[in-house]
Structure 1
Amino acid sequence: MAIKFDKILIVQYNLLGDVICSTGIVRAVREQFPSSKIAFLVSPETKDLVNIPFVDELVIYDKGMPILPVIKQIWRYDVALLLDFKYRSAFLPFLAMIPIRAGLRHKRGLFMTHGIELPDYNYKYYITEYMAKILEDAIGLKLTADVTRLTVADATEADISAVNNLLSPIAGDKKFVAVAPFASNPVKNWSAERYYEFMTKLSDEYNFVIIGGKDDADKPFKIPENALDLRGKASMTESAEILRRASYLVCGCSAPLHLAVAVRTPILALYGSTSKTKWVPKKGAVCIQHNFSCSPCDRWYGRDCGNKAPCMKAITVDEVVEGFYELVKLYPNGVIEE
């Protein structure tokens, strides 16, 4: 028997990259429930980026904000699809008396009606397929649309104007490559010195644009002559527009990778202990990774290597250059075709 819901709440209260990946689920839910009302609960930091056509209402919540307005906004929805593992993501739908609350239990089972424990397929699927499999196992909801197609908000006129100004120093015929050197977890970062050497080797062919958040702006990072440093200077929606214009992105396991997937820009991913199967898209990317016996490892602290990340240090400049040209050969136009 087909599952029917009139009002669907989708919750993703995790990091930016996770929120972007969740748009694949939102899109698929919309296609499967075209007449249903869909609300998307996210943090204030990500709201502009996920103001997308598949969502009827954005619900914004953060620690320290009053709970009552949020409870009223989501009151008695038919179902809450919990795509993260945060305690509050289950607690708010519980307070709102939503009758079906489905997702990973992860120490919050008291507030869930349909929860599963961490499955044995944690590293066997791409992240959006993993989310979809959890929903299927939890409540029998089998999403039939492509959950791997990510989406972010279209650039506004203000975004386009701002990006025109930001990129004006490198305006010209030479293509540019975006570089996002910093992840939220520093153990996932490749060497700044090696990034510099890589960009210098390609200076005759490409310009480079370094992107990152405000927290990244003061981190030590040598900028070559053929590069523009925009760390901390672009909003999230402006960063999406920069990536859309870039021919390629070079990065580690970080939010810009998922942003590039959404705007169809090919990616060279430099991965250490992160699961390539789970966190690299099936299409549009080349991944350089050295498999160590302790990988995959998602721990922020207490890693077997003492957070020294030999897996990232093993990646050489020469193999990144080789991987980049492999990416160019696969996507010569700098676009991931539909």
Structure 2
Amino acid sequence: MQKILIINRLGIGDVVLTTPLAQLIKENIQDAVVGFLTADKAVDLLQNHKYIDDVFSYKHRQAKKNIIAGIKEKGYTDAIIVDGRLSSTLLAWKAGCHLLNKGYCISVNRHHFFPRKETATRAIEDFSLYASSLLNIDFAKDKLTPRIGACSSERQKQITAWIKKTRHITKKIVLIVPRTAADIKNWNIKELGKLNEYLNTQGIKPLYIGSPHDTKYIESICGDKINLAGKLSLRDIPEVAQYASWALSMCTGPLHILSTVAKLPIIALYGPSDPRRWAPKSALVIQSNLPCVPCLKWDKCPKPVGNRCMDNIKFTQVKDLLLKNELL
């Protein structure tokens, strides 16, 4: 029996886009067991997942020997280092795994040395290509579909009941992910407020998704809204989204979680990151037209606040897209 450990300790979006690799392994290698080592923030995504048998949590400064012991205890035979990190490679090796590939990337003060080489433009395809290059699994690139774990049946019932009540106070269920961890990737809050107030005139009170740290930020956005910051787990998001008419998001992890919901129209706002690599295939993308875009620099920008790429995106562009696609 082949027991394959996938390691990707990068962001939530990266983890979501790596799940097709687990599916390819489970569907093409008889009796294969698939484990996934990820950063602690992404663990919830993979719980109760159809194609992932074990989830290992990597917490910052956690004793690596405990993680290694857990992998050894489960008897994992092979490892695929998706995140390309040298530290992930060494961890898998110490856990007794045969390294199907190796990563050499070292990060120092947000600078990356010896990063992994991209093998395809789209990230979801890039990560899935390990199935063909390492395991000789053929697949259709246009059929790759990200998937996260399901929440409990009890939680599904709670969300269904809550949605039923919410329909009495808003004409449509509309989801907005207003903020990312990198300020440079966030839309101008004044423009977001204009959108919120416009939706209010249409009888829509948007549902805002975020972490507990986003509560005050969301409350500061102009207009009436439903603030769900800190009230949903990652696996709750698709359960709520299946009732939504459409969603809007910055380039962040929840955007990719939303993309797991079939036929959900998503408006994705992009600035410094590249939608050719990161945008969900079905997303309606709005991107700044500044000549420096995309720059891939998420930590700093030489332009003053108010003149950056995300400031260049205006409410009217979103409104026009909503009307064009008859989402209102």
With normalisation by structure 1, the TM-score equals 0.82
CA change 1:40–1:317 in 2 (3 A) is: same
CA distance in 2, matches of 1:231, 1:27: 31
| Structure 1: unaligned runs, 5 residues or longer | 109-115, 333-338
Equivalent positions of 1:135-214 (< 5 A) are 139=134, 141-144=136-139, 146=141, 148-164=144-160, 167=163, 170-172=166-168, 174-203=171-200, 204-214=202-212
Equivalent positions of 1:303-314 (< 5 A) are 303-305=301-303, 310-314=308-312
CA distance in 2, matches of 1:159, 1:309: 43
How far has the Cα of 1:81 moved from its partner? 1.1
Query: Which range moves more in the overlay, 48-57 or 215-224?
Result: 215-224
Query: Which range moves more in the overlay, 273-282 or 33-42?
Result: 33-42
Task: Verify the 8 A CA contact 2:79 2:101 in the aligned structure 1.
Answer: yes
* Number of the residue aligned with 1:274: 273
Query: Which range moves more in the overlay, 259-268 or 72-81?
Result: 72-81
How far has the Cα of 1:326 moved from its partner? 3.6
How far has the Cα of 1:8 moved from its partner? 0.7
Please give the secondary structure, in 1, of the residue aligned with 2:235.
helix
Query: Which range moves more in the overlay, 180-189 or 37-46?
Result: 37-46
Task: Verify the 8 A CA contact 2:272 2:297 in the aligned structure 1.
Answer: no
CA distance in 1, matches of 2:273, 2:228: 26
CA distance in 2, matches of 1:117, 1:134: 16
* Number of the residue aligned with 1:336: none
Task: Verify the 8 A CA contact 2:86 2:104 in the aligned structure 1.
Answer: no
With normalisation by structure 2, the TM-score equals 0.84
Aligned counterpart for 2:2 among listed residues 3, 6, 12: 6
Aligned counterpart for 1:24 among listed residues 20, 23, 37: 20
Q: What CA deviation, in whole Å up to 9, does each residue of 1:123-157 have, x standing for no partner?
A: x62211122346656x4745525563011122323
2:220 pairs with 1:219: no
| Structure 2: unaligned runs, 5 residues or longer | 108-113
CA change 1:120–1:11 in 2 (3 A) is: closer
**Runs of 4+ displaced beyond 6 Å:** 306-309
Task: Verify the 8 A CA contact 2:21 2:130 in the aligned structure 1.
Answer: no
Equivalent positions of 1:95-134 (< 5 A) are 95-102=94-101, 104-107=103-106, 118-119=116-117, 125-133=121-129
Query: Which range moves more in the overlay, 241-250 or 164-173?
Result: 164-173
Two-structure CA RMSD over aligned residues (Å): 2.8
Aligned residues: 314
How far has the Cα of 1:28 moved from its partner? 1.8
How far has the Cα of 1:318 moved from its partner? 0.8
Corresponding letter in the other structure for 1:67: K
CA distance in 1, matches of 2:184, 2:115: 27
CA change 1:143–1:50 in 2 (3 A) is: farther
* Number of the residue aligned with 1:73: 70
